[in-house]
Amino acid sequence: MAVCAICQKKPISGNQVSIARSHVSRRAARIWKPNLRHVKANINGEVKKIYVCAKCLRNGKVKRA
């Protein structure tokens, strides 16, 4: 399971409620995955491959190599 190296964002689980919401609001288990990218980044002067979410990349929290 991949986790963002910067903000520790990881998959979360919950119930998906049907759109029609008919009968007793049928539910199905599902997992929401973060938008992770495997990138080469400069960490303490070294180039390492890490998983980073798209939000951290966009906000400039990671310096790409």
Quote the pTM value: 0.78
| 3-state secondary structure (DSSP) of residue 37 | strand
> What are the structural domain ranges in the chain?
12-58
The enclosing H or E element of 58 equals helix 54-58
Give per-residue pLDDT as tens, 19-40.
776 666 778 899 999 999 999 9
Cβ-proximal residues to 26 (8 Å cutoff; 6+ apart), any chain: 17, 18
Q: How far apart are CA 44 and CA 30, in angstroms?
A: 37
Per-residue pLDDT, averaged over 31-53, amounts to: 95
The pLDDT of residue 21 is 65
pLDDT band at 55 (very low <50, low <70, confident <90, very high): very high
Give per-residue pLDDT as tens, 3-12.
999 999 999 9
pLDDT(43) > 70: yes
| 3-state secondary structure (DSSP) of residue 55 | helix
Distances (CA, A) of 61 to 52, 56, 64: 10, 5, 10
